[in-house]
Amino acid sequence: MDGVNNSGVSEFLLLGISESPEQQRVQFWMFLSMYLVTVVGNVLIILAISFDPRLHAPMYFFLANLSFTDLFFVTNTIPKMLVSLQSQNKAISYAGCLTQLYFLVSLVALDNLILATMAYDRYVAICRPLHYTTAMSPGLCILLLALCWALSALYGLTHTLLMTRVTFCGSRKIHYIFCEMYVLLRLACSNTQVNHTVLIATGCFIFLTPLGFMIMSYVRIVRAILRIPSATGKYKAFSTCASHLAVVSLFYGTLGMVYLQPLQTYSMKDSVATVMYAVVTPMMNPFIYSLRNKDMHGALGRLFLGKAFQRLT
């Protein structure tokens, strides 16, 4: 990847959502706080799952990887964003911008694919409980995760390589907080129809196909839950899916507002939606998954208090 593209652009300027110094100071402290909460929350989830043998199950294996992905995701964007908001040097190199774009696109896709894999895990656990041990064997879990990584890496590489064909000959100013795809395409002075067509086509495959799979899985899960005779059994079965449903709704709700639309209609409200999926969703995931999960409560307690917590419980 060259440091200069074919139009001679060597860097971009990340100006943020607002150029007002007062608003940028507020944004700096807001994003710094959210970043620290996100890092601490996701690291605690990873540590709790790693060190507690009771959580060495497929569901928590994928949850730990989701937390790692979210941790990687925010670290790819927010530190540079904070530097740009706080300092006078708002420049990001052309190569640095494309590198940030690659990981941004890849990790969003990876988040989505892991969520689909977690839906399959819940489907097998509730609809085929007698086959759960064999259907979700450690080997298959690793294979599914490897497939998720491979597809997301290919997805990110495709769009990053297409972006290298785009010519930038006008403004280098990015009125945004990181190198987001739609923002860069709006700065282009060459034809970006191919980029937009491939974005829609691959986006439908990498996002809508897993979404359809998740919907089908939950239709079958709901049918299975309704067949459970006791109200307690129904509640227990549904509670294992509630956190996943909340995260999927938050993820697709914010993502759909940004990317499932024509490039020409992209506006500031979509920038806010992008902040939602890029910052808020990774921050909320640890809270959503641990809020009503007794196993996670116990694991976090043992992580902090060790044997003292075990005596209390």
> What pLDDT sits at residue 140?
93
pTM for the full predicted model: 0.88
Neighbour-count burial for 248-267, b at 16+ CB within 10 Å, e otherwise? bebbbebbebbbeeebeebe
> What pLDDT sits at residue 265?
58
- Chain centroid offset of residue 230 CA: 36
The pLDDT of residue 270 is above 60: no
The single-letter code of the amino acid at 141 is: C
How many Å apart are CA 122 and CA 110, to the nearest integer?
A: 18
Q: What are the CA-CA distances from residue 306 to residues 60, 208, 298, 301, 303 (Å)?
A: 20, 43, 10, 7, 6
**Averaged pLDDT for residues 266-278:** 64
Select the more confidently predicted residue: 56 or 147: 147
User: How many CA atoms lie within 13 Å of 11's alpha carbon, on the beta-carbon side?
Assistant: 8
> What pLDDT sits at residue 310?
52
> What pLDDT sits at residue 195?
87
User: How many CA atoms lie within 13 Å of 276's alpha carbon, on the beta-carbon side?
Assistant: 17
**Averaged pLDDT for residues 127-151:** 92
The pLDDT of residue 263 is above 60: no
The 3-class SS string of 221-241 reads: HHHHHHCCCCHHHHHHHHHHH
- The vertex-299 CA angle with 70 and 128, nearest 5°, equals 80
| Mean pLDDT over the full length of the chain | 83
- Least confidently predicted of 200-204, 263-267, 308-312: 308-312
How many Å apart are CA 63 and CA 54, to the nearest integer?
A: 14
> What pLDDT sits at residue 159?
93
Task: Give the tens place of pLDDT for each residue, 197-210.
Answer: 898 888 888 888 99
> What pLDDT sits at residue 10?
79
Pair of tokens at residue 247: 């995260």
